[in-house]
Amino acid sequence: MRISVVGCGYLGAVHAACMATLGHDVVGVDVDAGRVADLAAGRAPFYEPGLPELLAEAVAGGHLTFTTDVAAAAGADAHFLCVGTPQRADSYAADLTYVDAAFGALLPHVRPGSVVAGKSTVPVGTAAGLAAALADVEPSATLVWNPEFLREGFAVKDTLHPDRLVYGVPGGTAGQRAVETLDEVYARPIAEGTPRLVTDRPTAELVKVAANSFLATKISFINAMAELCEVAGGDVTQLADAIGLDERIGRRFLNAGLGFGGGCLPKDIRAFMARAEELHADPAVSFLREVDSINLRRRERMVDLTVGVLDGRPLAGARIAVLGAAFKPDSDDVRDSPALDVAARLQARSARVVVTDPQALANARLKEPHLQYAATVEEAVDGVDAVLVLTEWREYRELDPGKLFGLVAAPRVVDGRNALDPQAWRDAGWTYRALGRQ
C-alpha cells in the first residue's frame, strides 16, 4: 500500500520504518529539516535497538522516503498521524498543538476514499472533532483511531509483532471499509495471529491512557508497599515475588524502586485526569493523583537514602556517582527521568554529582547542563563517597563489586532499582541500601 506518516519523532520514525519493512511504500513527513535529513540518510536520530538497521535497509531499497513537504502525502491510501502530545505548560492537560497543525496541513492532500488514522495519544473526544473537519473537506475519507502501544527499547518488536491491534472506527460502510484498509496495512501481524479489536473511536482513544494508567497504578502500588517494608522491616522484592505468583496479579510491573518516568506514563495519567475533569467524571480517576504522588515521593526518598548511607557525613561536598540518566534502560530518553531528577536534587543540596549512562549523556547534558558527566562507570565512581544505581542497564546489573571496590573513596552503594545482588555486594565489602529493603 501507499502510506504516509505525518510526524517522524520517536513514534513516527519507528512506524514508518516498520511499515516499509512490512512491504508498503512509505513517505514520512516532518517539519524538522534536520531530523528529516538524518532519516533520509538512514540514520536514527535517537537510540532505539534495531531501528537503524530497518531504516537503512528500507531507505536503500526505495520503499521509505522522508520529506518536509506534506504534499508528498497526496495519493496515499492511509495516512498515520504520529505527532507528540506533551503536557501543557499551564495544566495537566495534553497539548494538541502538534496534532492540530499536522492534521490541518494534511487535510488538503487527503484523496477520496482514503483513511486517516490517528496514532497519537489524545484526550477522548479528539477524534470526533477531527472527523468533522475531515468530512467538511473530503466526505468519502474516513477518520479512525489506531493507538500505539510501544515500549521504548522494544518499539520495533512492538510494531512488527504487536500484542494487539485496536481500530476505532465509525459505524456503517465507512467503518467497514476502514477496517479493510487497516487489515491490509497490518496483514502480516494479523496473519501471525495478533488479536485485532474493532471498537468505536472514543473507546480506541481511551485504550492507551487506560492501559498506561493501570501500569502506573501497579508500579506505584508496589512502591507504596516498599514504603511499608522499610518501616516494618520487610523485603519488597520478596513481597513482590509472593504476590506475583497469584495469576490474577502477575509479577510484571511489580519491581519496586525509583518509579516511572519518560514521555508517556507521567503525562498520560495527568492528561487522563484533566480530561475526566472536563467531562465532570474526575471522581472516577481521582486515585491517579495518589499514583502520581507515590511515584514522585520515591525520588525524594532516594535522596534520603543517600544521606543515610553517608553515615553522618554531610551531603554538601560529598562526591556521588549516579549510574543512569535515561528514564529506563535501552533508551536515550531523559524526559521526566527519575534518575536525572535525583541527580539534580542531590546537586541542589551541594553534593558533587557525576552522572554516567551508556546512551543518554548527550540528552542529559541538554536537560541538566550544570551536572558533571562521565563516559564510563570507572570514571564516574573514581574517588566517590557513594554510588547510586538509578537506571537498570544490563551493564550496571552485571557490575563486579570487587573490581569497583578499589576505585571509590568509600564502598557505599544505593540500589534505586533493586537491580543488584545485595549479598554479592556486601560480601565484596560494600554497604548496600535499597528502596524497600533492609
Instruction: Collapse the DSSP code of 434 into the 3-class scheme (helix H, G, I; strand E, B; otherwise coil) and give the result.
Output: strand
Q: What sections of 186-279 are H helices per DSSP?
A: 187-191, 201-232, 236-244, 265-278
Instruction: Collapse the DSSP code of 192 into the 3-class scheme (helix H, G, I; strand E, B; otherwise coil) and give the result.
Output: coil
CA distance 48 to 195: 25
User: Over the stretch 347-357, which tens digit does the pLDDT of each residue have?
Assistant: 999 999 999 99
Q: Please report the DSSP string for 384-426 in residue order.
A: -SEEEE-S--HHHHT--HHHHHTTSSS-EEEETTS-S-HHHHH
- Residue 392 has a pLDDT of 97
Weakly modelled stretches of the chain, pLDDT under 50: none
The verdict on whether 82 is a catalytic residue reads no
Selecting among 8, 18, 229, 264, the annotated active-site residue is: 264
Task: Please report, for the chain, the start and end positions of each structural domain, with discontinuous segments joined by +.
Answer: 2-199, 200-438
Q: Tell the residue number behind the cell numbers 534502560, with chain if given.
A: 329
Instruction: State the CB neighbour count (10 A cutoff) for residue 141.
Output: 20
> Whole-model pTM above 0.75?
yes
Q: Please report the DSSP string for 47-66 in residue order.
A: --TTHHHHHHHHHHTTSEEE
CA distance 181 to 175: 10
Name the CA dihedral angle for 438, 387, 304, 425, rounded to a multiple of 10 degrees.
0
- Computed over every residue of the chain, the mean pLDDT equals 97
CA distance 131 to 363: 37
CA distance 278 to 380: 47
Q: What is the CATH number of domain 2-199?
A: 3.40.50.720
CA distance 69 to 63: 17
CA distance 309 to 314: 11
Question: Do the bridges between strand 386-389 and strand 352-356 make them parallel or antiparallel, or are there none, so unpaired?
Answer: unpaired
Q: How distant, in Å, are the alpha carbons of 117, 158, 213, 285, 297 from that of 201?
A: 11, 22, 19, 20, 36
- One-letter amino acid identity for 352? R
- Residue 232 has a pLDDT of 95
- Residue 438 has a pLDDT of 77
Under DSSP, the state recorded for 153 is T
Q: Same topology for domains 2-199 and 200-438, yes or no?
A: yes
Q: What sections of 279-407 are H helices per DSSP?
A: 287-309, 338-348, 361-367, 377-381, 394-397, 401-405
CA distance 328 to 215: 15
Question: Do the bridges between strand 386-389 and strand 412-415 make them parallel or antiparallel, or are there none, so unpaired?
Answer: parallel
Q: Tell the residue number behind the cell numbers 477522548, with chain if given.
A: 124
Which cell goes with 271?
492528561
- Residue 148 has a pLDDT of 96
Q: Are 94 and 122 in contact (CB under 8 A)?
A: yes
Residue 90: exposure state from Cβ atoms within 10 A (0-12, 13-18, ≥19): exposed
Under DSSP, the state recorded for 94 is B
Which cell goes with 291?
499514583
- One-letter amino acid identity for 57? E
Q: What is the CATH number of domain 200-438?
A: 3.40.50.720
